[in-house]
Amino acid sequence: MTAKIISGVDTAKAIRAELKQEIAELKEKHNVVPGLVTILVGADPASQSYVTAKEKTSKELGIYSERLDIPAETTEAELLALVDKCNKNDKINGILVQLPLPKHINEAKILYAIDPTKDVDGFHPVNVGKMILGEQCFLPCTPHGILEMLVRNDIKTSGAEVVILGRSNIVGKPMANLMLQKRPGGNATVTLCHTRTKDTVFHTKRADILIAAVGVPKMVTADMVKDGVVIIDVGVNRIGKTADGKAILAGDVDFDAVKEKASYITPVPGGVGPMTITMLMKNTVQAAKQAAGIL
């Protein structure tokens, strides 16, 4: 069996077209323009490229975008003051503080300072709590994007054995939670593996859907999965550079070998990545509608 490739680029394109239409209608009918601010502390090259991509996508869709690049030496108090200013700015519906932050800044303190109604990353405890309860909230973008990919590609999750590798707050834990919910893309039986899991391969071998989010290049090999598995590869690992200095990326899955056993697989790049940014845009539109009382 050779797997069908689930293109995040194509799925994202479809959602972005829907969003573009919705944003145009919001402006026309309600004079509402969704606004997103991205705050980048320091000059980490990977973070810079993520922020640039978010800014570019915002502009393409008609979202008002502000980019605040501030020095790595910025103090925690200064960053908190900036977040507070954005909380009070009516033009801004979504606030994204690009992670990771420099070590002298307490990440949780900054994320908790963001107004939950502008927390388009879905990292504030209010939104995390609502997600767990299955209430309307901002869902974290990467797991939300994966859910959309599964749903839009008609991959059955109800009753499926889903194994997730990685238990981070931004991918593994919320992913597990969303797949448990009684909603489309949910109703699965979920197993979460991490570095203390006794026998990871025992779990991966029985997965109907395997989601890898570990940050270990090509960790999932063909002998770790069963025939027909659906593979979602979240990993983005920089494994070298091309002659012209561009990063060579690899996922957490040995794509070439595993695609011969899987029924569906996401590539890296072009899989989960484009969906993450798209869901950020979706959340920003949702925030603008909520602020305008349209939802």
Task: Name the residues annotated as catalytic.
Answer: 54, 98, 121
Q: Tokens 């009516």 sit at which residue?
A: 90
Q: Helix or strand or coil: residue 7?
A: coil
Which helix (H) or strand (E) element contains residue 151? helix 141-152
Query: What 3-state DSSP class applies to 247?
Result: strand
Q: Tell me which H or E stretch contains 273.
A: helix 272-291
- Nearest distance in Å: CB 271, ligand NAP: 7
Identify which of residues 160 and 212 has a Cβ nearer to ligand NAP in the complex: 212
Q: Which stretch binds ligand NAP (CB under 6 A): 33-41, 81-89, 116-124, 269-277?
A: 269-277
Please give the span between the terminal C-alpha atoms of the chain, in angstroms, as a whole number. Answer: 45
Helix (H) or strand (E) holding 238: strand 237-241
Which of 273, 281, 286, 288 is close enough to bind ligand NAP by CB under 6 A? 273
Which contacts (CB < 8 Å, 24+ apart) does range 237-243 have? 238/46
Q: Which is nearer to ligand NAP, 167 or 259 (CB)?
A: 167
State the nearest-atom distance from the C-beta of 57 to ligand NAP, in Å. Answer: 13
- CB atoms < 10 A from the CB of 104, how many? 10
Residue with Cβ nearer ligand NAP (23 or 268) = 268
Tell me phi and psi for residue 40, to 5 degrees: -115, 120
Contacts of ligand NAP in 6-45 (CB under 6 A): none
Interacting span for ligand NAP (CB under 6 A) from 70-78, 150-158, 211-219, 253-261: 211-219
Minimum distance of ligand NAP from residue 141's CB (angstroms): 7
Q: 32 or 146: whose CB is closer to ligand NAP? A: 146
Angle CA(281)–CA(286)–CA(292) in degrees, nearest 5? 130
Question: Closest by alpha carbon to 65, among 146, 120, 122?
Answer: 120
For strands 247-250 and 237-241, give the pairing: antiparallel
> Hey, how many other C-beta atoms are within 10 angstroms of the C-beta on 111?
19
By C-beta, is 218 or 259 nearer to ligand NAP?
A: 218
Closer to ligand NAP by CB, 107 or 161: give it. Answer: 107
Interface pick for ligand NAP out of 153, 237, 263, 290 (rule CB under 6 A): 237
Q: Among all residues, whose Cβ is closest to ligand NAP?
A: 168
Closest distance to ligand NAP from the beta carbon of 148 (Å): 13
Q: Residue 54 pairs with which residues in a beta bridge?
A: none
Q: What is the distance of C-alpha 294 from the center of its chain?
A: 25
The span from the CA of 72 to the CA of 173, in Å, is: 29
Residue 133 Cβ vs ligand NAP, minimum distance, rounded to whole Å:
23
What is the SS3 assignment for 131?
A: helix
Question: Applying CB under 6 A, which of residues 41, 149, 150, 234 lies at the interface with ligand NAP?
Answer: 234
- For the CB of residue 237, give the shortest distance to ligand NAP in the complex, in Å: 5
Mark 136-165 with x for binding to ligand NAP (rule: CB under 6 A) and - for no binding: ------x----------------------x
Q: Which residues bind ligand NAP (CB under 6 A)?
A: 142, 165-168, 170-172, 193-197, 200, 213-216, 219, 234-237, 272-273, 276
